[in-house]
Structure 1
Amino acid sequence: MTSDHGFIYKRNPVLQSDKINTAEEPGKLKKRRYIVAKEPVVDDGVFNIGLGHMLGNGDDKVISYPGGTSVFSAKGNAGLHYVHGGSSPQEMLIPVIDIKMDKGAVETRTVQIMLVSLIQKITNLITTLDFIQSDPVSDVVKGTVYKLYFLSEDHERISNENIYLADKRDEDVHKRLFRMRFTFKNKRYDKSKNYYLVAYDESNDVEVFRHEVIMDVAFPNDSGF
């Protein structure tokens, strides 16, 4: 990985006194911050280096550049608020950073699931609900297995148990949606009591979410009074 500090911005533009005047010559490549020519620029604060030395060949041209924030006098006024650092270390050296990732130091987490269906009341002994796997499985988001079922407030299991293998790697959120069908015990439910949809991570048997519902299922021969 490499880096560059960019240009230095000055509140006031470069003054004429900060410009270094040089003669125009055929074949001279002249820019505000450097000149490439057959002859070096001999002036206070100007440094010169052979182009052939830089390129490792026999080129006899010379690169001249200001040692500070001064610039060479050139046509145009654009960019006069920006100066280079001349021969300062940040201009002459390119930092190269080697990055080594320590896999043991990367924190990982288990992928989560969430209930999508907006349900507050169960009115049928067979109910289908929609869920979503919150993130795609990756190097730092680990897959797992979830078990989901309904409980009463007395911890009685009142539905079948569904198993979901949370291992989808799709970036598209729609491809991480899934649906589960729950079948409830055919019994009389008390609407004044609390019932819950719960999800457990099978890898550690930890409850990951709990959603409260009301059981309002008509029992056979129940007149409702």
Structure 2
Amino acid sequence: SLEQRSDHLKAFGGMAVKAEDLMALGKDKGRELVRDQRLIYIYHDRIDMIGDKQASETKTFEAAAQTVQELAQVLGFVINSLNGSTVLVTADHGFMYQESALDESDKSTLDEKPVGTVTAKKRYLIGHDLGNSPKAWSGNTSVTAGTSPESSMDFWLPKGSSRFHFAGGARFVHGSAMPQEVVVPVMTVGVSEADDAKTKLVGISLLGLVNKVVTNTQRFEFIQTDAATDRVLPRTVTVSLRDAQAGDKPISDVQTITFDSTSHLLDERKRSILLTVLAGSHDPSKRYDLVMRDAASNIEVLRLPIKVDLAFGNDF
């Protein structure tokens, strides 16, 4: 359990915490929690939680994709908000998954569980004095895990990717000896020592596909792609519609927006503005641009093509 993992790590100046619990603390409380710890074990369990249940195992791909996104958020929080310098990303085990339902060829042909079985799963049996079977791989934990003679147990593993049929076949499985189950990735994520990587400005993107202005006043919505932290700095920008063929002359008013949200929720990092097209004649076949510039440096942050096709002339 998580509590047992945390108790084990205490002897080494460490602790274990669920990813969602750590993220919910926020920067200040999170720093307080980890301040005196030498090692923080952050536990994330979405794939197993979804895949290892028959009712939800068909959502394994969805759970894996969401896990990648959530782990990226955890990494950003640890490095940018908790001042972490090195993070190891790994897994306690891998798994096998097949989209189609299992048929008889996917199941082991064992007739029944051997006498002495203590635990029977789809990808392994553990027990005492199990003996051997030509239909399964067999071994003892004294060899594979170095357990003492009095605590050692025998195990059986189905050959290949098959499942023990008496445990109820499932598309999502783990716990045996296929490479997909025992080989796991280990990624090291660290803070770059390069000066330009120590801090950066928040990223900004336009939401939705807005490629034409058809009224005098047009709403544009943007999203701040990163939460502002000690290393990811807020920025203020100006936004306007411009005519690049006329020396980037503005054809709308100029609006100023500041992106400084520290929230990890995307909805709380959205900002919108209203741009009003200036009076004059605007060619509907001509390309204009939506231009965003950094307010402090005047460096261009974003430029997107826009058509201006007003229903009526804007000469009043």
Partner of 1:163: 256
Counterparts of 1:174 and 1:132, CA distance in 2: 8
Query: Does the CA contact (< 8 Å) of 2:263 and 2:269 recur in 1?
Result: yes
Partner of 1:184: 277
Residue 267 of structure 2 aligns to which amino acid in structure 1?
A: H
Q: How does 1:137-152 map to 2 (within 5 A)?
A: 137-152=228-243
Instruction: For residue 110 of structure 1, report the CA deviation from its aligned partner.
Output: 0.7
Residue 273 of structure 2 aligns to which amino acid in structure 1?
A: M
Counterparts of 1:138 and 1:70, CA distance in 2: 47
Q: How does 1:87-102 map to 2 (within 5 A)?
A: none
Residue 131 of structure 1 aligns to which amino acid in structure 2?
A: F
**RMSD (Å), alpha carbons:** 3.5
User: How many residue pairs are counted as aligned between the two chains?
Assistant: 145
The equivalent position to 1:114 in structure 2, one of 205, 229, 235, is 205
The structure where strand makes up a greater share of residues is: 1
Partner of 2:57: none
Runs (5+) with no aligned partner, structure 1: 20-32, 34-68, 81-100
Partner of 2:218: 127
Residue 184 of structure 1 aligns to which amino acid in structure 2?
A: V
Partner of 1:51: none
SS in 2 for 1:174: helix
When Rg is computed on C-alpha atoms for both structures, the one with the higher figure is: 1
SS in 2 for 1:185: coil
Residue 113 of structure 1 aligns to which amino acid in structure 2?
A: I
Counterparts of 1:102 and 1:215, CA distance in 2: 44
Q: 1:152 to 1:220 in 2, by over 3 A?
A: closer
Counterparts of 1:70 and 1:135, CA distance in 2: 47
Counterparts of 1:220 and 1:200, CA distance in 2: 26
Partner of 2:128: none
Partner of 2:153: 77
Counterparts of 1:128 and 1:190, CA distance in 2: 20
Partner of 2:303: 210
Instruction: For residue 104 of structure 1, report the CA deviation from its aligned partner.
Output: 8.3
Q: 1:104 to 1:120 in 2, by over 3 A?
A: closer
Counterparts of 1:205 and 1:177, CA distance in 2: 22
Counterparts of 1:202 and 1:112, CA distance in 2: 14
Residue 178 of structure 1 aligns to which amino acid in structure 2?
A: R
Q: 1:140 to 1:192 in 2, by over 3 A?
A: same
Residue 124 of structure 1 aligns to which amino acid in structure 2?
A: T
SS in 2 for 1:191: coil
CA deviations on 1:175-215 (whole Å, 9 max, x unpaired) are 11111011111111112221001001123221011111111
Counterparts of 1:150 and 1:70, CA distance in 2: 71
Q: How does 1:22-33 map to 2 (within 5 A)?
A: none
Partner of 2:178: none
TM-score by length of structure 2 reads: 0.40
TM-score by length of structure 1 reads: 0.54
The structure where helix makes up a greater share of residues is: 2
Runs (5+) with no aligned partner, structure 2: 1-37, 42-91, 93-136, 157-190
